[in-house]
Structure 1
Amino acid sequence: MSERPHVTGLDVDPETRCRHYHSEFDRIAIRFHCCGEYFPCFQCHEAVGCNNKSVWPKEQFNEKAVLCGACGNELSIRDYLDCASSCPHCAAPFNPGCSLHKHLYFEV
């Protein structure tokens, strides 16, 4: 079994919740296009990330760039955007409110 990717952020728990987003359903991390590192949220990236913000272009939506904090499965961006707020691998629910921030991570 492969090791889970490292998630950088502020007060990150084992399911990728952080200081900014820590409800029961906040359990994804996003690999940022600009630096290739996983962060729980855009605020963590702003606080301790690369300072070179860029979003994933649509033509790269097949890249694995979303990590389920429950099972450690990496989802493609397309799979994440189409998943209806639950992990297609383990069925753990994701926060549906994250869709309000997708423009911060992905080209819309």
Structure 2
Amino acid sequence: MHGLLVDDQTRCEHYQGPLDVIALKFACCGKWYPCHLCHAERADHETRQWSTKDRAMQAVLCGVCGSLLRIDAYLETSECPTCAAGFNPGCRLHHDLYFD
């Protein structure tokens, strides 16, 4: 996991709330980061979004149970389908940074 001060449930320096428990595999580099700010601060390249044709990719990690989610499944839920951990609804405000 790449990022700043990442805990065992993928919370980082930027997002530390109880529901901030996902990490994303970035399309541009294939590396896992807890948020777009961590990527911007640590990566040496620009972010590239996952295209709509890549929605079947497993690119979301539940930090509570470690399950991998397909992008389309993540975009359609508010909790982990495996462990029922809630995901931060505010993350939807940033979906355009990660997904086309």
Number of aligned residue pairs: give it.
Answer: 100
Q: Which of these residues, 74, 81, 88, is aligned with residue 95 of structure 1? A: 88
Identity %: 48
CA contact (8 A) 1:63 1:76 kept: yes
Mark the runs of 5 or more structure 1 residues left unpaired by the alignment.
Answer: 1-6
TM-score (norm 2): 0.98
Partner of 2:97: 104
Query: What pairs up with 1:76-95 in 2 under 5 angstroms?
Result: 76-83=70-77, 85-95=78-88
Q: CA deviation at 1:52?
A: 2.8
Is 1:52 matched with 2:53? no
Q: Distance in 1 between matches of 2:27 and 2:72?
A: 14
Any idea what SS the aligned residue of 1:44 has? helix
Counterpart Cα distance in 2 of 1:90 and 1:50:
34
TM-score (structure 1 length as normaliser): 0.90
Letter in 1 for 2:64: A
Deviant stretches of 4+, over 2 Å: none
